[in-house]
Structure 1
Amino acid sequence: MSDDQPLIVHVERPDEAPIRCTFEPLAPADVDARLRKLACPESAVFDVRRGARADAVSFQPCPAHPSQDRHVMRELVVCGQVWTFTGVFDGHLGDATVEHTAYHLPIIVAEHLEKHLSRRLSPSTVLDPEVVRQILTIAVTSFDEAIAGDVLDLFPGGLDTIASRSDDEIRRVINDFDGTGENYKKARLCLYGTTALVALVDPAHENMWVAGLGDCEAVLVAPASNGSWTCEPVTNLHNGQNPSEVARVRREHPNEPEAVLHERVLGTIAPFRCIGDTPFKMPVEFTRRILYNLYPGVSDPTPWEIFLSRNRTPPYISSVPEVVHRRLAHTAPGNRRPFLILATDGLAELYADMDEDMTRADLAARWAASVGTAWGVGGQMPQENLALRLLRDALGGDDTVQMSQMLTLDMSDPWMDDTTIVVQVL
């Protein structure tokens, strides 16, 4: 750590006056050490022979605010064959639902694949990419439906009988602290939500499916014959800045001008597709009778009632992912490998702070260049963590002053969004 005294920096805040904060100037070696400590880089090797692997980081430098992002890098054994599953998840309002999703969604996907593939006449039967797309879609939507469904199952007759139940009865059911607490855990999942961006690769490494809910980014990068890289954003952003998403919600809720208000669903929440966020998917009785009674209760229901008053024909948020299929090449010019970048929206925000005019195409090209230059002479597989390389580029690269500011600002509130990256070498 540097012996220099803390310096002052003015931090810009949206719609607020800038504030003066101190930061600790770090020496280059200290920058590296601090970044690694905060980003917790890790890797998973999927296929040594093919060079298939994934690198990940999850970063939030403000010590008082643990990250609500999660990521997954794992293999799924389905009918004796190995698939790879990677993903990033951006939780909001709390971390219960994002934690639940990151752990259980790969299991659910594997179960759905197993159920379908076990019916094939032989393992060598060619798998239709459209079938896998449908399997992935059903797995995600059924997983999300179970979040509210598991709570309704606690009350025989479901919502139809809620009106006849007292608050005390509902509280006894969902706040089961004198028992296993399982009911409470189920109900708590309904309070929070998470975006999801996952990639599934088949055992032959010939096909990849990317499924997205929310505003995380996926960029597929492939080596070109001239030594450069081609890059393709393979997901759409499901938020109020996407006209097609706004049109979809308005089409599904005609004559409801407040279905989308200020580029937010019911004027409240930014992602138009996600897992959880049950108050935007269920009738208002679910929230008022069940979630309001969940310990410790809602001390001030006013903010809730503002958007609940607009909830007339739910669901307003979709759990149906957009799934894209891409075929993967077995060979690449100069031994370089194609790779996939999955990132929560915090990464794009870091680059937007550098250049607010940067388009999604510009962003994809910048990411491709940052990771692509890690390949050595002759296309040697890089040994460094590629997700950490990309994160460092977003934070300031070789600019030790900028890096020091991003790593050590003395603030009690986060000065940047949670940022999680997975770079998967295909």
Structure 2
Amino acid sequence: MAENTYHTAFRTTCISVPNVIKANEDRYLLRHLQLPNGIWRMIGVFDGHAGEECVNYAIETFPAFLQTALSAALEHIDDLSSSSSAVTDTIRKAIIDYDNQILSDFLDLFPGGVEALQLLSDDEIKSIVNDFDSGGKNNIKVLRCMRGSTLLFSLRDPSGGNLWVASLGDCQAILGRKDSTGLWHSSVLSSDHNGHDIDESDRVQREHPGEQDCIMNDRVLGAIAVTRALGDHEFKIPAVYTRRVFLNTQPGFRVSSNVLEFIARNKTPPYLSNEADVRHVDMKSLDNTESFLILCSDGLVDLYMYDEQRTGPLDKIVARWVKIVGDSIARGDADVAPLLLLRDALDGDGPARVVRKVIVDGDAIEEDKGRILRNIAMEMPDKWMDDITLAVQRL
């Protein structure tokens, strides 16, 4: 199995609100899972949102959870290639079970369900969820439910002949493959689980007939961009839990008024799904051609989508990425491929004319800045850039 995996992260801050800095919530993992038939290699990019508690927990505990599920499944599998669908189903179910376990840990704090919850006073609820004096074990269980994370990882068996990619949310996985003529080809192995995707938007609306507000402004309940994720249980369980518990938990939501708006639309949960898209690639069918996998958070593609000079369909953007990585492999410097991708996203083909007026000795003059400086200095209308984390895995 190839051990060449390179990754980088671009630490960004949110400065859309004066004096407010949002810490980076992207996470990256590389794990070796000890399974009955040998060591499997797992590489992942997780994009946390609304806080760090869910994404941190996922990075720490999900690999072991998945390892347990796969160990049980592999006891009944002799040939992975002919039983790839069984592994696919196991991965998909493990992700659902993991997210449901996060929810169960929370619901166990309030036995008796909604009816019992309604009998508790606000003070009683606060004493349960804000248990800082006794170590905060309850509090962290609640926060894992309130926060969320996308999930994207690749999983490769010991022989290297089978590759699985699981995606939940809107991170991207791109397979680059070189054909017999030396040309590189790109394939998207992930799904775009957000409200901009027509299929996802239609799915949510089909699941909630007659609820026109289930998708508003390309967001679920008008509040969250992703349509599938770990955590974010305010979009998955009855609104009473958000109103009575989550809004009484510290630290709370960043903007509580926004929460009050969307929970009024929460009528028939769940609105967010925890069912991942899991795909299998038979590496033997690639005829031993050179190949690699790019895993990245959505912040990378955003830099192209929001640049009017380079915006275009996703397949055009990822073809550009594959060429950049392919060229770096040809030069023998694949280890810097993630940095080259990041540089291209920030800077494109070179300086773009970004002009600002500055005062020099009392006179106003125009100053040209390259695109990369514009991005780093946040000299764009929204004054905000998403976190970017990416990995390149040689297959």
Please indicate, yes or no, whether the TM-score normalized by the shorter chain is above 0.5.
yes
| Structure 1 partner of 2:363 | none
Counterpart of 1:363 (choices 317, 324, 349) is 317
Distance of 2:198 and 2:87 partners within structure 1: 28
**What are the residue-to-residue correspondences of 1:387-406 with 2, within 5 Å?**
387-396=338-347, 399=350, 401-406=370-375
Q: Is the 8 A contact 2:27 2:47 kept in 1?
A: yes
**Pairwise CA distance, 1:80:** 5.7
The one of 77, 86, 110 equivalent to 2:43 is 86
Indicate the SS of the match to 2:328. Answer: coil
Q: d(CA) in 2 for partners of 1:361 and 1:139?
A: 30
CA contact (8 A) 1:129 1:325 kept: yes
Match for 1:67: what amino acid?
N
TM-score, normalisation: structure 1: 0.80
CA deviations on 1:383-421 (whole Å, 9 max, x unpaired) are 52321221112122674743344345589x964211111
Alpha-carbon distance in structure 2 between the residues aligned to 1:229 and 1:217? 18
Amino acid of the structure 2 residue aligned with 1:328: M
Counterpart for residue 393 of structure 2: 424
Letter in 2 for 1:131: A
Q: Provide the residue aligned with 2:11 in structure 1.
A: 60
1-side partners of 2:64 and 2:222: how far apart? 34
Query: Taking structure 2 as the reference length, what is the TM-score of the superposition?
Result: 0.86
Query: Judging changes above 3 Å, is the alpha-carbon distance between structure 1 residues 85 and 246 closer, same or farther for their aligned structure 2 residues?
Result: same
CA distance in 2, matches of 1:407, 1:95: 23
Q: Output aligned runs, 1:307-322, within 5 Å.
A: 307-322=262-277
Contact 1:61 1:414 in 2 (8 A): no
Q: Please state if 1:351 is matched with 2:298.
A: no
What is aligned with 1:372? 326
C-alpha distance 247-406 of structure 1, shift in aligned 2 (>3 A) = closer
Equivalent positions of 1:107-118 (< 5 A) are 107-118=64-75
Q: Work out whether residues 193 and 226 of structure 2, in 8 Å CA contact, stay in contact via their aligned partners in 1.
A: yes
Equivalent residue, structure 1, for 2:93: 138
Does residue 197 of structure 1 match 2:197?
Answer: no
Q: What is residue 228 of structure 1 aligned with on the other side?
A: 183
Distance in 2 of aligned mates of 1:250 and 1:315: 12
Structure 1 Cα separation of the partners of residues 343 and 294 of structure 2: 15
- Secondary structure in structure 2 of the residue aligned to 1:82: strand
Corresponding position of 1:104? 61
Paired with 1:233 and 1:297, the residues of 2 have a C-alpha distance of: 37
**Deviations along 1:239-262, whole A, 9 cap, x unmatched?**
122111111111111111111111
Task: After TM superposition, give the deviation of residue 118 of structure 1 in Å.
Answer: 3.3
State the Cα deviation string for residues 205-255 of structure 1 (Å, max 9, x = none).
111111111111111111111111011112221112211111111111111
Query: What SS class does the counterpart of residue 258 from structure 1 fall into?
Result: helix
Q: Following TM superposition, by how much is the alpha carbon of 1:267 offset from its aligned partner in structure 2, in angstroms?
A: 1.1
Secondary structure at 2:390 match in 1 = strand
- 8 Å contact kept, 1:395–1:406: yes
Give the SS at the match of 2:210: coil
Tell me the residue number matched to 2:106. Answer: 151
Query: How much has 1:180 moved relative to structure 2?
Result: 2.4
State the distance in 2 between where 1:57 and 1:337 align: 22
Change (3 A) 1:410 1:329: same
Partners of 1:373 and 1:408 in 2: CA distance: 29
- Unaligned 5+ runs, structure 1: 1-46
| Most deviating of 73-82 and 265-274 | 73-82
Q: What does residue 181 of structure 1 align with? A: 136
3-state SS of the aligned residue for 2:270?
A: coil
**Percent of aligned positions that are identical:** 36
Aligned AA (2:209): P
Take 1:303 and 1:415, find their aligned partners in 2: how far apart are those partners?
20
Q: Which amino acid aligns with 1:351?
A: Y
User: Is contact 1:54–1:73 with CA below 8 Å preserved after alignment?
Assistant: no
Correspondence for 2:365: none
Size of the aligned set, in residue pairs, is 369
Where 1:71 maps in the other structure, the secondary structure is strand
Q: 1:340 is matched with which residue? A: 293
Q: What runs of 5+ residues in structure 2 fail to find an aligned partner?
A: 15-20, 352-369
* Counterpart residue type for residue 6 of structure 2: D
Match of 1:283 among 230, 238, 260: 238
Cα deviation for residue 84 of structure 1 reads 0.9
Task: For residue 9 of structure 2, give the secondary structure of its aligned residue in structure 1.
Answer: strand
Superposition RMSD in Å? 2.5
Q: Deviations over 1:359-382 (max 9, x none)?
A: 1110111010010001236xx5x3
More displaced stretch, 394-403 vs 169-178: 394-403
How far apart in 2 are the matches of 1:145 and 1:425? 33
Distance of 2:146 and 2:301 partners within structure 1: 27
For 2:378 and 2:3, the matched residues in 1 are separated by 37
